[in-house]
Structure 1
Amino acid sequence: MTWETIEAPPGLAPPRPITVRAQAIPARHSFPEHAHRWHQMVYAISGVLTVAVEGHSFVISPEQAVWLPTGLPHRTGSLLGAEFRSLWIADEAGRGLPASPTVFGVTPLLKALIVEATAIEGEEDRDGYAGRVTSLILDQLRRAQALPGALPWPRGGSSLTLLCEALYASPADPRGPEAWGRELGMSERTLARRFEAEMGMSLRSWRRRLRLFKAIELMGGGLDVTRTALELGYGSTSAFVYAFRTDMGCSPQAYMRGRGADRFARPQGSRVERSPVREPRQG
């Protein structure tokens, strides 16, 4: 299936100091590549977004957001549809924030502030309340932790897009590199080489990260741990719990209780010892 293009609204005014835009994006729709004369934070209230920037593409969930500095060309879309918020931030207000594109965790407080800023957008700030909300948002952005674990996504038109879209829709799909190579008309070795060159990791590592990403999405939608494990193709609930704990440093139950976005980033130097476990069959 092809993707449709959404035109950006005309006459965009610069933020003073923050403008919040709320928008729904249908499945398989995207904005064409563009840049702003101000900083931007892209965040999905629900659903997931694909963001392409500087030759790379990745997916973010409602636990994540992307910081895009002024003037950086980017493209935003959604495979399955999403409700998202764009925070446009004036250059002077964004001092001290990253000078390069950054994926970071969204804390419950930052999410609540974004929701509130959306609700009061455009209202006259007679008592300074909107200004205080703006200040808190900027404070939260400066305290946000960068995440090393964003889910890479193929660039538009890549032959790998079919593969990644199929695995995203059905993460329990058992086909390995040899079967997918036949599907895409290339050898297993060529597929492995192209995947690693474009995505920066092996297909096996990407599938593991995809399952972690989908686990958070599914549990956030109300599925329990056992059903989530089955949906992701794990042979048992304990195998899923072990894999989740290895990558996240806590159990799925503990993560969902805390909804702590900062758990995406494990402190440097930490290590979780591995032991044999039956994971989904994969390539």
Structure 2
Amino acid sequence: MKHSQDYPLKARPMIGLEDEYPAGFVDPRHCHEHAQFLYASSGVMSVVTPHTSFVIPPQRAVWLPAGMMHEVSCRGAVSLRTLYIDPAHDTDPGSCRVLEVSDFLKALVLEVVKFPTEYDLEGREGRIAWLLLDEIRQMPNAPYHVPMPSDPRLVRVCQAIIANPADQRDIDAWSVLIGMSRRTFTRAFKQELGMGFALWRQQVRLMEAVSLLAAGRSITSVALDVGYESPSAFTAMFHRAFGEPPSVYVVR
């Protein structure tokens, strides 16, 4: 994966790149000197920062501020469009977020990634770049992330669940595994992550479900693979969380 230091902005608000990555590709932990807008026109990415784990389905994007350490992995083949953006245009420095991508924003991104590195800032290309920045600021956040703890013991638990969302071990089992009492585990988990263990695990399962559905898996197989006992229970929970049924995310 190409990094921003290879592409100086040269007094332009952004530059765009397009690339294709195979299933299983991992770009190890790193950061950029510029803010970064990662958009997968097809395929599903995972992005992990020190504080948050994101899943980015197709037609969504993740904003990473300058200097944010992160690792990117591709669940399947990914068509990636990347914008490196001058940090001066970051309206919320230090904050990562997943964004919805409208058809209009998608069209602008696909146009900008074709621009030469030193595009005409005063002409059509420059006007499109500024408009694209305005559109990014207008996009609503999307709920495809979970917070990550800083306590190494809780990190161990959370990483295991992210790796296998169907893991059914309860608080008692996890507490024994990492050498905590149940009471300490419960208190520390909620204090660090702002939610209880059950809700956090539910969010991980739903994020994994979005990823699998976008990869073409059936609702039934996804429900079982992320730990639900039946497709109906999974569908009900999915609808409550996202406001729409899982069928919306199925690739046909």
TM-score range, shorter chain: 0.7 to 0.9
Gap regions ≥5 residues in structure 1 = 1-5, 258-283
For the pair 1:27 / 2:26, whether they are aligned, the reply is yes
Name 2:47's counterpart in structure 1. Answer: 49
Which residue matches 1:247? 241
**Deviation of residue 227 (structure 1)?**
1.2
Distance 1:12 1:126 in 2: 16
Q: 1:271 maps to which residue?
A: none
Check if 1:134 corresponds to 2:129.
yes
Deviations 1:170-207 (A, max 9, x none): 21111011111122122222222222222222111111
1:220-253 deviation per Cα after TM superposition (whole angstroms, max 9, x unaligned): 0001211111111111111011001111111111
Answer yes or no: is 1:236 the counterpart of 2:227. Answer: no
Aligned length: 239
Matched AA of 2:238: F
Q: Tell whether the 8 Å contact from 1:58 to 1:152 is kept in structure 2 after alignment.
A: yes
Q: Could you tell me which runs of 5 or more consecutive residues in structure 2 were left unpaired when the two chains were aligned.
A: none
What is the RMSD computed on CA atoms of the aligned residues? 3.5
Q: Distance in 2 between matches of 1:51 and 1:119?
A: 29
Listed as ranges, the matches of 1:47-196 within 5 Å are 47-52=45-50, 56-62=51-57, 63-68=60-65, 73-78=67-72, 85-90=81-86, 94=89, 97-99=91-93, 101-109=95-103, 110-122=105-117, 130-131=125-126, 133-147=128-142, 150-155=145-150, 158-196=152-190
Structure-2 separation of matches of 1:90 and 1:10: 12
How far has the Cα of 1:80 moved from its partner? 6.2
Q: What secondary structure, in the 3-state scheme, does the structure 1 residue paired with 2:49 have?
A: strand
Q: Give TM-score, length-normalised by structure 2.
A: 0.77
Q: 1:246 to 1:224 in 2, by over 3 A?
A: same
Over residues 88-131 of structure 1, what are the superposed CA-to-partner deviations in whole Å (9 max), with x where a residue is unaligned? Answer: 22366x38x44552514232523454344334443756995533
Q: What is the TM-score with the length of structure 1 in the denominator?
A: 0.69
Q: Give the whole-Å Cα distance in 1 for the aligned partners of 2:178 and 2:230.
A: 31
- Residue 58 of structure 1 aligns with an amino acid whose one-letter code is S
Preserved contact between residue 5 and residue 32 of structure 2 (Cα < 8 Å): no
Change over 3 Å in CA distance of 1:135–1:169 after alignment to 2: same
- Pairwise CA distance, 1:214: 1.0
Q: Secondary structure at the match of 2:63?
A: strand
> What is the aligned-residue identity percentage?
27
